[in-house]
Amino acid sequence: MNAELTEIVDGLGKSQKTISPKYFYDERGSRLFEKITALPEYYLTDAELEIMRANVDDMAALIGKHASLIEFGSGSSLKTRILLENLDELAAYVPVDISQEHLWTSAQAIRREFPGLDVIPVVADFTRSFALPTPTVMPIKNVVYFPGSTIGNFEHDLATDLLRVMYEEAGKDGALLIGVDLQKDSDIIDRAYNDSAGVTAEFNLNMLRHLNAVYGANFDIDAFEHSAVYDKDEGRVVLELVSQADQTFEVGTSQFRIADGETILTEYSHKYTLEGFAEMAGDAGFTVEKVWTDAAGLFSVQYCVRN
């Protein structure tokens, strides 16, 4: 049994059945997520774009010349384009993603738009350390870029572990530019994760399609429903798939039972205070040097340096 299948089976064997959110992102899942980011209820993208457009000169000054920009979880690269258009003499752009086909497509688009840029895509699970490619021009420093609010998808200990991976990949004198969603009125959050078009529900359920297609599972997708509830006390959205019947399913050679109303946890989306994120970043070896927020204070982009 390979490592990914073992991880999936172990998660489904827990008392609270769990599947890692990284299994959202097959080709279809990546496209659905891009669709989510364009929804009117999904405040995160507009808020982050507002921040990037208003403050990109400051960000570029902090990143400096001859840096290698390493993007964890490369998507459509919309926000990345704003950086690439404003960074001076970038040594290389290294998009990293687990979805190979989506990654190649995005990388090719960037190459066409920035013909002089050394674009080196890396297929990897960025939650674990991976080997960085060697650019044509050696960078002065590495800057890890993690846009969106993906850091919030991980529980505190796992988020800290991921930040430690970023710390290692940044290397000596390196830095991190990261999107961090902030705590806010719960109604705004609820609408973002239960959109009227049902795209988030489709995205959540697509995880089961992915497991059926790749990992030998036989989920009855119609027998599950999407659920997203904001837990204000914990400061996080809880995404789950709710079983609509007593049923059994298989993943590989392992069989599982799930009761009517029982859930599979697919994602947390943590919302941070500025102080809370700074403390977590500090545990991973980073110091928050600069914070930018949108006018409404919904979202933040933070520049962190290695201690």
pLDDT value, residue 95:
94
Inform me whether the pLDDT recorded for 8 exceeds 80: yes
Residue percentage of the chain with pLDDT more than 90: 87
The answer to whether residue 76 scores a pLDDT higher than 70 is no
Q: What is the pLDDT of residues 39-51, one digit of tens each?
A: 999 999 999 999 9
- In angstroms, the CA 117 to CA 210 distance is 33
C-alpha neighbours within 13 Å on the C-beta side of residue 180: 26
Burial class (CB in 10 A: 0-12, 13-18, 19+), 16: exposed
73: tokens are 């979880």
Q: What is the pLDDT of residue 50?
A: 97
d(C-alpha 256, C-alpha 258), whole Å: 7
Cβ atoms within 10 Å, residue 53: 11
What's the whole-number mean pLDDT along residues 273-289? Answer: 98
Contacts (Cβ under 8 Å, ≥6 apart) of 6: none
Binned at pLDDT 50, 70 and 90, residue 251 comes out as very high
Q: How many Å apart are CA 3 and CA 11, to the nearest integer?
A: 12
In this prediction the pTM is: 0.88
Q: How far apart are CA 101 and CA 253, in angstroms?
A: 28
d(C-alpha 257, C-alpha 25), whole Å: 25
Token couple for 201: 């529900």
Per DSSP, the three-state class of 211 is helix
